[in-house]
Amino acid sequence: MSAVTEAAAPRAKDKSQTRTYYWIVVPMVVLFAIFHTFPVLTGIFYSFTNYAGFGDYKMVGFANYINLFRDSRVLSAYGFSFLFAIVATILTNALSLVIALALNAKIKFRNFFRGVFFIPYVLAMLVIGYVFKFIFGTSLPKLLSGIPLFADNILTNQTWAWTAIVILAVWQSCAFAIILYLAGLQTIPEELYEAASLDGASVWQQFRSITFPMIWAYFTINVVLSVKGFLQVFDPIVALTNGGPGTSTESVTMLIQRGGLTGGEFAYQTANAVVFFIVITVLSLLQFRGMASKDSDF
């Protein structure tokens, strides 16, 4: 008798426990479906219509998708976004790694400098971007009046305005990347370097055969995150050029936002967004695979 109640009680309790767990998770799943998954699905639906953002619409099949590939403005937005993402990723990771290495050396005032390099992380890109706009538009033309590129305000230069956006974006992104690399460097045991220097390994050899392999995981994460983030670039463009001159610095995100919300191209730009999603996903997966296979070489 007592044995029966003893066995039944915990089971009943287990059941109510499990029910509580469901009560905790299910509402979040439902909310997430409503506010995240549902917009994704409606976006895919609209991409097959000619909806302008208001009024009636009808299904148009793949017409939006076919037109995307013929639209020179769309193609140039992809061109800009990729060029920007590649250059900004390389610069961010190269500069962050160098600064993290120097911060990890036995330098004076290390905590102070580490704190300084992280400042850009807490600043709004748009707001500090306006300060950079002043630097490029007012300060540099006076300070570098001997160099025509800067003297004429680089932001109004059709060919080179994108480099100013790269500088601003890299300036901010380095803050987080430096901290990540620094965390990676501090996981490397000191003894490895001591052993290597006893064996007469040069600084460069130590970096190539100890440091870099040991922080490979951090490097992978940083690069994949950088590419994904930079491809979606928006804020620094708004701050510096607003897509100009002409549409030479218009990114995909900017095109989707402008064309879709104010340009009467709602359905067309949702199709663009679906393509953009596929491009980013495929690219992220390829990067992870590529970098994972490189990993096994070490």
Interaction residues for other proteins, span 95-154 (CB under 8 A): 99, 102-103, 105-111, 113-128, 130-132, 134-135, 138-139, 142-143
Provide the minimum distance between the beta carbon of 83 and other proteins in the complex, in angstroms, as a whole number.
Answer: 18
**Which residues 199-218 are close enough to bind other proteins by CB under 8 A?**
218
Q: Determine the Cα–Cα distance for residues 145 and 141; give it in Å rounded to an integer.
A: 5
- Residue 190 binding other proteins, by CB under 8 A: yes
Could you identify the residue written with the tokens 């970096």? 207
Evaluate whether 255 touches 77 at the Cβ level (below 8 Å): yes
Of 191 and 297, which has the nearer Cβ to other proteins?
191
* Residues from 25 through 54 that contact other proteins (CB under 8 A): 25, 28-29, 31-32, 35-40, 42-43, 46, 53
Q: Is 156 in the site for other proteins (CB under 8 A)?
A: no
Quick one: 8 or 159, whose CB is closer to other proteins? 8
Does residue 288 bind other proteins (CB under 8 A)? Answer: no
Q: What would the x/- binding string for other proteins be over residues 62 to 91, using CB under 8 A? A: ------------------------------
Q: Given CA atoms 94, 100, 105, 109 in this order, what sign does their dihedral have?
A: positive
- What is d(CA 265, CA 53) in angstroms, rounded to the nearest whole number? 7
Reduced to 3 DSSP states, what percent helix, strand and coil does the chain have, rounded to the nearest 5?
Answer: 80, 0, 20
**Rounded Cα–Cα distance for residues 223 and 208 (Å):** 18
Q: How many CB atoms within 10 Å of residue 64?
A: 24
Instruction: Give every CB contact of residue 171 below 8 A, 6+ residues apart in sequence.
Output: 120, 132
φ, ψ of residue 107 to 5 degrees: the values are: -105, 160
Exposed / middle / buried, residue 246 (Cβ in 10 Å: 0-12, 13-18, 19+):
exposed
**Of the candidate residues 67, 76, 209, 257, the single one contacting other proteins (CB under 8 A):** 257
Smallest separation (angstroms) from other proteins to the CB of 260 = 4
87, 151, 196, 280: which one contacts other proteins (CB under 8 A)? 280
17 binding other proteins? (CB under 8 A): yes
Pick out residues in 168-187 that bind other proteins (CB under 8 A): 171, 176, 179-180, 183-184, 186
Q: Given the complex with other proteins, which of 150 and 162 has the nearer CB atom?
A: 150
